[in-house]
Amino acid sequence: MAFDARRRFGRAPEREPPPRAELGRLVVGVQPVREAIRRHGSALRAVLIDARPSPKLEALARFATDQKVARVSRLSRGELDSLSHGVAHQGAAAYAPELELLPLELAMGADDALGLALDSLQDPQNFGAVIRSAVALGAATVIWGEHASAPLTPATFRASAGAIEHARLCRVASLHEALAGLRDEGVAVIGLEPTAPKHLGSLDLTGRTVLVLGGEGEGLGRAVRRTCTELATLGGLATIDSLNASVAAGIALYEGLRQRLKSKG
């Protein structure tokens, strides 16, 4: 049932049963759903809104209708709770197309390609927040191994605040093998470590570069560390192990962006 923007807040809307998971990738949260609508428009399978009156949710439903989403439905809070499996949905959910994953050769093929590799980052909140930083700072490609990282789940999409809909994503079978291949092609593979002898700002980040961020607690794994052409610290700003992963990623990516803008100026 399509949302009728003329329906008064006080009237109890009709409801449909929750769609099945076969409809696609579940996105929850007001901002993630808004970004999914902005990115995919009519390609969304459904937008699901809490049936209780809320000006913010009414505006989101109108936005979905304006963007030609075919199905904008009202569900009870309990139905949304059941769909989201504990992820905070804020009264909004959507079924979106699957994310596009780029092959490594395309993701890092440009002469000025900038990548952010995640070595065993396990927490979906950290993973999503790092993706948000990557999109905000230079649209860097996020690269991770398929067996040793947080999965792409509604919790990850929620933590990215919708940025994942606009991200350049590359999942590889083996991170250290992928990085070794890039290194052999002349890509600068720079591991971020708090005790490294060099500051990141002292390195040239204007060419093809991958910045490598270690996982929670363990940092860079041994095999990944061996693939790095350089190890660098964030220097006078803070040690990496005292920072949230997304903050460390943001600082490192900002340095890459700063150098690139300066070289063009």
Q: Give the largest Cα separation in the chain, rounded.
A: 66
pLDDT at position 180 is 98
Highest-confidence range of 129-133, 234-238, 239-243, by mean pLDDT? 129-133
User: What would the two tokens of residue 117 be?
Assistant: 């590799």
Please give the model's pTM, rounded to 2 decimal places: 0.86
pLDDT at position 8 is 32
pLDDT at position 229 is 98
pLDDT at position 242 is 46
Q: What is the pLDDT of residues 135-164, one digit of tens each?
A: 998 779 999 999 878 889 999 999 999 999
Mean of the pLDDT values across residues 178-201?
Answer: 95
Q: Where do you find CATH 3.40.1280.10 in the chain?
A: 104-264
pLDDT at position 79 is 94
Nearest to 130 by CA among 91, 90, 161: 161
What's the mean pLDDT when you consider all of the chain? 88
Phi and psi for 241 in degrees, rounded to 5? -70, -10
Mean of the pLDDT values across residues 213-217?
Answer: 85
- Does position 228 have pLDDT exceeding 70, yes or no? yes
CATH number for 104-264 (one of 3.40.50.1470, 3.40.50.10800, 3.40.1280.10, 1.10.150.300): it is 3.40.1280.10
* Residues 239/205, Cβ–Cβ less than 8 Å: no
Q: Where do you find CATH 3.30.1330.30 in the chain?
A: 21-96
Mean of the pLDDT values across residues 120-138?
Answer: 91
pLDDT at position 142 is 97
Nearest to 118 by CA among 239, 230, 218, 201: 218
Instruction: Give me the amino acid identity at 98.
Output: E
How many CB atoms neighbour CB 146 within 10 A?
12
In this prediction, residue 206 has a pLDDT band, given cuts at 50, 70 and 90, of very high
pLDDT at position 13 is 39
- CATH code assigned to 21-96: 3.30.1330.30
Distance, in Å, from the CA atom of 224 to the CA atom of 208, rounded to the nearest integer, reads 18
- Percentage of the chain with pLDDT > 90? 76
Position of tokens 């970004």? 35
pLDDT at position 245 is 85
pLDDT at position 236 is 57
Q: What is the pLDDT of residues 8-64, one digit of tens each?
A: 333 333 445 445 556 789 999 999 999 999 999 999 999 999 999 999 999 999 999
Distance, in Å, from the CA atom of 169 to the CA atom of 115, rounded to the nearest integer, reads 10
pLDDT at position 22 is 67
For the chain, helix (H) and strand (E) counts, in that order, are 9, 11
Highest-confidence range of 35-39, 82-86, 147-151, 259-263, by mean pLDDT? 35-39
Nearest to 151 by CA among 174, 178, 121, 130: 121
